[in-house]
């Protein structure tokens, strides 16, 4: 088979699904992938999600509302059963964790998340720096394929007040007061705390790395 | 290290970027998307679009430009002007704005801030404050409706109190625009910004007065603000964003190059 034939098959079958979580602003993430000419579907359809080449779990708002949205759509079990690359963005990353202690809701109870990356989300300890952590900060990366070609010290755009601590599941780290996880992952599930869709060329490279994952060989 | 942000502000009217003198006689500078793309390419860290159509005239206008910006621009942007309701905010965010900025409507109804925060999260709620030095009382006070000269009025808020109030109600960021020096390009009001910085636990953006590259260095070093917003020095080509960022980097200020 020629290279040309392989790439045309990929173009037809290569589908990146952004899960329609119902409460998030999904357009920014979709536009960023479209700028990379990716074949994007935004959906909550079980079959389409299952058959995707890779899946994005977006998220804006609060952990409680976002998890309630997933439960309402019956997506919790489905997401957990996925075997293709799944990337959470910002709150979407936090939803991959076991528990979130975000108290932006009605009560102060911890919120059970998807439990796909065994770490707990808590307050970012900025040690007196303004919160939320907002703006361009530098990351240190591991050799995860998501960060191929990304140098330590690259700037990406963050907006958050909660964080995953540094753990064995840290794929990239950042410092704002304390050190925290800029990306976490386990097996085919991983996520980034920052917004690659708003992180100029560095962010586009990270999204392209994601698009290079899960391709039919 | 978290970088200090350089934030160009573009005035938008009926889908075009305009510039005016003292809020009057607006002339069209050009289309929104190419200008925004140019600033992003030059190294702007964030963009603010101030929709002056919306603030001056209370009517339904085409907001699809917000969506066109979101399609093309890969840095964060904020939409300001004329957002008075949860639904108007939702529309901007759904079109792809990262943040919305509220000024006069928050003064008319401070509960708007908490309601927006409950709905969208504090990270996307920016409060703009137009502050001026009141010689009579030797204090800083807040003005309202500055987008329309005829409607501009003083409020009873002292700037410090309003800064405390908007944080308590859940804003995620404050843009402090200092009226006295706006447009004069004589430098940011370091004294006032330092005073506000001391009581501001959310990110603080300085606005009003930028004229030289040294003014940016001053405001970051002396007033410890997180970001500096400017309009005319960038639009008129007095300062090139790329050169400014290299200058600040050479002055040992944390900057994304």
Does the pTM surpass 0.95? The reply is: no
Rounded to a whole number of angstroms, the distance from the CA of A207 to the nearest CA of chain B is: 12
- The residue of chain A with its CA nearest to that of B94 is A25
| Of the candidate ranges B41-55, B74-88, B118-132, the one whose mean pLDDT is the lowest | B41-55
User: What residues of B are in contact with residue A34 (Cβ under 8 Å)?
Assistant: 71
**Interchain pair A60, B120: CB under 8 A:** yes
Q: pLDDT per residue over B215-250, tens digit each?
A: 999 999 999 999 999 988 998 899 999 999 999 999
Q: For this structure, is A197 an active site residue? A: yes
Q: pLDDT per residue over A73-109, tens digit each?
A: 999 999 999 999 999 999 999 999 999 988 654 456 7
Q: Which residues contact A77 (CB under 8 A, 6 or more apart)?
A: none
pLDDT at residue B183, as a whole number: 52
Greater confidence, B179 or B244? B244
**Interchain pair B98, A203: CB under 8 A:** no
pLDDT at residue A7, as a whole number: 43
Q: For this structure, is B154 an active site residue? A: no
Minimum-distance CB partner of B75 among A159, A161, A200:
A200
What are the sequence ranges of the domains in chain A?
Answer: 3-211
Q: Mean pLDDT for chain B?
A: 89
Q: Is the pLDDT of residue A5 over 50?
A: no
Nearest to A159 by CA among B111, B75, B80, B214: B75
pLDDT at residue B57, as a whole number: 52
Q: Which residues contact B190 (CB under 8 A, 6 or more apart)?
A: B218, B219, B222, B223
pLDDT at residue B181, as a whole number: 53
What is d(CA B132, CA B143) in angstroms, rounded to the nearest whole number?
Answer: 7
pLDDT at residue A3, as a whole number: 45
pLDDT at residue B24, as a whole number: 56
pLDDT at residue A110, as a whole number: 87
pLDDT at residue A190, as a whole number: 98
* Top-confidence range, A3-7, A56-60, B200-204, B236-240: B200-204
- Architecture of the domain delimited by A3-211: 3-Layer(aba) Sandwich (3.40)
Q: Is the pLDDT of residue A4 over 50?
A: no
- Architecture of the domain delimited by B5-250: Alpha-Beta Barrel (3.20)
- The residue of chain A with its CA nearest to that of B7 is A135
Q: Read off the pLDDT band of B130 (50, 70, 90).
A: very high
- The residue of chain B with its CA nearest to that of A155 is B256
pLDDT at residue B232, as a whole number: 86
What is d(CA A58, CA A54) in angstroms, rounded to the nearest whole number?
Answer: 13
Please give the structure tokens belonging to residue B27.
Answer: 């002339």
By the CB < 8 Å criterion, does A175 face chain B?
A: yes
pLDDT at residue A167, as a whole number: 98
Q: Mean pLDDT for chain A?
A: 90
What are the sequence ranges of the domains in chain B?
Answer: 5-250
ipTM: 0.92
pLDDT at residue B113, as a whole number: 97
What is d(CA B140, CA B158) in angstroms, rounded to the nearest whole number?
Answer: 6
Q: Is the pLDDT of residue A16 over 60?
A: yes
**Interchain pair A31, B203: CB under 8 A:** no
Q: pLDDT per residue over B136-172, tens digit each?
A: 888 999 988 877 777 788 889 999 999 999 999 999 9
DSSP assignments along A57-126, one per residue: E---S-HHHHHHHHHHTTHHHHHHT--S-EEEETHHHHHTSSEE----SSS---EE---SS--EEEE---
By the CB < 8 Å criterion, does A129 face chain B?
A: yes
CA dihedral A124, A128, A129, A130 (to 10 degrees): 80
DSSP H or E stretch at residue B112 = helix B111-120
Please give the structure tokens belonging to residue B49.
Answer: 């679009």
pLDDT at residue B146, as a whole number: 79
pLDDT at residue B20, as a whole number: 61
- The residue of chain A with its CA nearest to that of B198 is A130
By the CB < 8 Å criterion, does A42 face chain B?
A: no
Q: Read off the pLDDT band of B16 (50, 70, 90).
A: confident
What is d(CA A99, CA A123) in angstroms, rounded to the nearest whole number?
Answer: 12
User: What residues of B are in contact with residue A27 (Cβ under 8 Å)?
Assistant: 67, 70, 94-96
**Interchain pair B2, A129: CB under 8 A:** yes
Rounded to a whole number of angstroms, the distance from the CA of A1 to the nearest CA of chain B is: 36
Block residue for tokens 């200020």: B253
By the CB < 8 Å criterion, does A25 face chain B?
A: yes
Test mutation, A18, A28, A89, A102, chain B, max B CBs within 10 A: A28
Q: Read off the pLDDT band of A208 (50, 70, 90).
A: very high
Q: Is the pLDDT of residue B46 over 90?
A: yes
Minimum-distance CB partner of A134 among B70, B96, B173:
B173
């Amino acid at each position: 088979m020629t290279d040309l034939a392989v790439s045309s098959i990929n173009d037809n079958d290569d589908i990146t699904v952004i899960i329609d979580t119902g409460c998030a602003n999904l357009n920014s993430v979709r536009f960023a992938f479209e700028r990379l000419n990716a074949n994007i579907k935004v959906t909550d359809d079980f079959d389409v999600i299952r058959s995707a080449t890779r899946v994005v779990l977006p998220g804006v708002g609060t952990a409680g509302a976002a998890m309630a949205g997933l439960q309402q759509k019956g997506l919790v079990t489905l997401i957990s059963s996925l075997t293709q690359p799944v990337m959470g963005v910002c709150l979407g990353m936090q939803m991959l964790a076991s528990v979130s202690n975000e108290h932006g809701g009605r009560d102060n109870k911890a919120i059970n998340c998807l439990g796909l990356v065994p770490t707990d989300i808590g307050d970012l300890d900025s040690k007196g720096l303004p919160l939320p952590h907002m703006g361009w900060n530098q990351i240190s990366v591991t050799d995860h394929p998501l960060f191929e070609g990304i140098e330590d010290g690259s700037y990406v755009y963050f907006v958050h007040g909660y964080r995953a601590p540094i753990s064995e599941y840290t794929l990239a780290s950042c410092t704002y007061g304390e050190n925290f996880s800029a990306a976490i992952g386990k097996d085919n599930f991983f996520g980034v705390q920052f917004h690659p869709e708003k992180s100029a060329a560095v962010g586009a490279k990270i999204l392209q790395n994601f698009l290079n994952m899960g391709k039919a060989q | 290290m978290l970088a200090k942000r350089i934030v160009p502000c573009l005035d938008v009217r009926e889908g075009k970027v305009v510039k005016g003198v003292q809020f009057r006689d607006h002339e069209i500078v050009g289309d929104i998307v190419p200008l925004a793309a140019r600033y992003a390419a030059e190294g702007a860290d964030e963009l603010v679009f101030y929709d002056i159509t919306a603030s001056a005239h209370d009517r339904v206008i085409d907001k699809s430009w917000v969506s066109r910006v979101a399609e093309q621009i890969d840095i964060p942007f904020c939409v300001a002007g004329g957002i008075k309701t949860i639904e108007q905010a939702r529309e901007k965010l759904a079109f792809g704005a990262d943040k919305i900025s509220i000024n006069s409507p928050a003064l008319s109804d401070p509960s708007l801030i908490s309601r927006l925060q409950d709905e969208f999260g504090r990270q996307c709620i920016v409060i703009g404050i137009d502050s001026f030095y009141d010689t009579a009382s030797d204090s800083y006070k807040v003005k309202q409706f500055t987008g329309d000269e005829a409607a501009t009025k003083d409020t009873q808020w002292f700037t410090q109190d309003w800064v405390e109030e908007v944080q308590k109600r859940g804003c995620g960021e404050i843009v402090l625009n200092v009226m006295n020096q706006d447009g004069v390009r004589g430098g940011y009001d370091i004294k006032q910004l330092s005073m506000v910085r001391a009581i501001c636990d959310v990110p603080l953006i300085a606005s009003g007065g930028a004229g030289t590259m040294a003014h940016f260095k001053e405001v970051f070093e002396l007033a410890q603000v997180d970001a500096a917003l400017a309009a005319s020095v960038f639009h008129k080509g007095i300062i090139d964003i790329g050169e400014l960022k290299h200058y600040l980097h050479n002055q040992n200020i944390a900057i994304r190059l």
